[in-house]
């Protein structure tokens, strides 16, 4: 007969095993290969099924945004090559936010390309720790640490050739969550592209969080700020956020570019803010009990 302490320990072990199994299945599902393709102008999709990666090309070299899981890096390299480009010509590496499913492949991609890693100050701490320093405390979320070569502040820009991306700090999902914006010209017209970070609340403590006291107010300021920016082309760290699969299928058939949709981003923000406010009110109610 197991003691109560032993029973509790066994439950913890079993729970950890189930979490690891679920995490492993999710990673596998999200890391399925996707043929690379041009989204608009000089922006290409080089990511996988569940986590995105974008290549912005210039004659002076290329910019790569997000690196997926650690195991995604070889697939990104393969996708870049399939488009006729070289990983060695990637001069700049950017990150939307320092989670293992978006920053996990950065160390390997930096090694392969020799590119300059650029990130916000708050997320650089997490990237350089390999996820070991973060407020979330997720299990199984560590990844290969990557050295950040340049810290970028809110409103600063990254320029390569005639391409200029602007960093907007939109904290909440991570302390240094960075939304990147750029203009792109396609068929003689210029469009506002937004590489959104995230505003989801994946089990976060929003009330009385000792590791991130201002988390709720950061989310609220982020929603307000994101509503102020124009967006014709909405891109994001997970394909499901912007209906990647459906748009890719429609794009393959020709006709109007389905990625151009000026109403989509703000509709997404409406839904996301409702989810955030619902979770915040629930946690505030629980805290008063």
Q: Is 99 a catalytic residue?
A: yes
Total-model pTM: 0.91
Query: DSSP per residue over the chain, as a string?
Result: ---HHHHHHHHHHHHHHHHHHHHHHHHHHHT-B---EEEETTEEE--BSSS--EEEEETTEEEEE---SGGGHHHHHHHHHHTT--GGGEEEEE-S--SHHHHTTHHHHHHHH-PEEEEEHHHHHHHHHTTSS-SS--TT--------SEEE-TT-EEEETTEEEEEEE--SSSTT-EEEEEEEEETTEEEEEEE------SS---SS-TT-TTHHHHHHHHHHHHTTS--SEEE-SSGGGGTHHHHHHHHHT-SS-TTB-TTHHHHHHHHHHHHHHHHHHHHHHHHH-
What residues contact residue 119 under an 8 Å CB cut-off, 6+ apart? 94, 95, 98, 127, 148, 151, 152, 176, 178
Contact (CB, 8 A) for 204 and 215? yes
Strands 178-186 and 116-120: unpaired
Q: What tens digit of pLDDT does each residue of 269-282 get?
A: 999 999 999 999 99
Catalytic residue among 44, 45, 62, 97: 97
Residue with tokens 């794009």: 251
Buried b (16+ CB within 10 A) or exposed e, 118-140: bbbebbbbbbbebbeebebeeee
Catalytic residue among 102, 123, 191, 219: 102
Q: Is 102 a catalytic residue?
A: yes
Q: Is 101 a catalytic residue?
A: yes
Catalytic residue among 44, 45, 66, 99: 99
Q: What tens digit of pLDDT does each residue of 15-44 get?
A: 333 334 446 677 999 999 999 999 999 999
- pLDDT at residue 23, rounded to an integer: 62
- pLDDT at residue 7, rounded to an integer: 35
Catalytic residue among 45, 100, 123, 173: 173
Q: Is 173 a catalytic residue?
A: yes
- pLDDT at residue 138, rounded to an integer: 64
Q: How many CA atoms lie within 13 A of 269 on its CB side?
A: 24
Phi, psi of 31 (to 5 degrees): -110, 25
Q: Where are the domains of the chain?
A: 34-288
- pLDDT at residue 140, rounded to an integer: 57
Catalytic residue among 100, 204, 212, 219: 204
In Å, the largest CA–CA distance within the chain is 76
Q: Is 192 a catalytic residue?
A: no
- pLDDT at residue 141, rounded to an integer: 80
Q: How many CA atoms lie within 13 A of 30 on its CB side?
A: 23
pLDDT in tens, the chain (289 residues): 444 333 323 332 333 333 344 466 779 999 999 999 999 999 999 999 999 999 999 999 999 999 999 999 999 999 999 999 999 999 999 999 999 999 999 999 999 999 999 999 999 999 999 999 888 876 558 899 999 999 999 999 999 999 999 999 999 999 999 999 999 999 999 999 999 999 999 999 999 999 999 999 999 999 999 999 999 999 999 999 999 999 999 999 999 999 999 999 999 999 999 999 999 999 999 998 8
Residues in the chain: 289
- pLDDT at residue 139, rounded to an integer: 56
- pLDDT at residue 15, rounded to an integer: 35
Give, in words, the CATH class of 34-288. Answer: alpha beta
First to last CA, the chain: 37
């Amino acid at each position: 007969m197991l003691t109560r302490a032993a029973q509790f320990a066994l439950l913890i072990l079993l729970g950890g095993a189930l979490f690891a199994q679920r995490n492993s299945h999710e990673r596998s599902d999200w890391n399925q290969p996707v043929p690379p393709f041009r989204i608009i102008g000089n922006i290409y999709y080089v990511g996988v099924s569940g986590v995105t990666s974008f290549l912005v090309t210039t004659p002076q070299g290329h910019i790569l945004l997000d690196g997926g899981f650690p195991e995604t890096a070889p697939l990104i390299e393969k996708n870049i090559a399939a488009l006729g480009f070289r990983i060695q010509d990637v001069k700049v590496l950017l990150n939307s936010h320092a989670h293992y499913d978006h920053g996990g492949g950065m160390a390997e991609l930096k090694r392969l390309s020799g590119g300059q890693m650029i990130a916000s100050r708050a997320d650089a701490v997490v990237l350089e720790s390999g996820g070991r320093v973060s407020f979330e405390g997720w299990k199984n979320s560590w990844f290969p640490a990557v050295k950040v070569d340049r810290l970028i502040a809110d409103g600063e820009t990254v320029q390569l050739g005639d391409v200029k991306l602007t960093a907007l700090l939109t904290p909440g999902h991570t302390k240094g969550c960075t939304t990147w914006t750029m203009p792109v010209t396609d068929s003689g017209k210029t469009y506002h592209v937004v590489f959104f970070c995230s505003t989801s609340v994946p089990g976060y403590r929003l009330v009385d969080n000792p590791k991130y006291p201002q988390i709720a107010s950061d989310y609220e300021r982020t929603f307000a700020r994101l509503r102020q920016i124009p967006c014709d082309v909405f891109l994001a760290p997970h394909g499901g956020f912007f209906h990647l699969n459906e748009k890719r299928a429609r794009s393959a058939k020709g006709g109007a570019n389905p990625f151009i949709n000026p109403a989509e981003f703000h509709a997404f923000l409406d839904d996301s803010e409702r989810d955030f406010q619902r979770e915040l009110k629930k946690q505030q109610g629980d805290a008063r009990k």
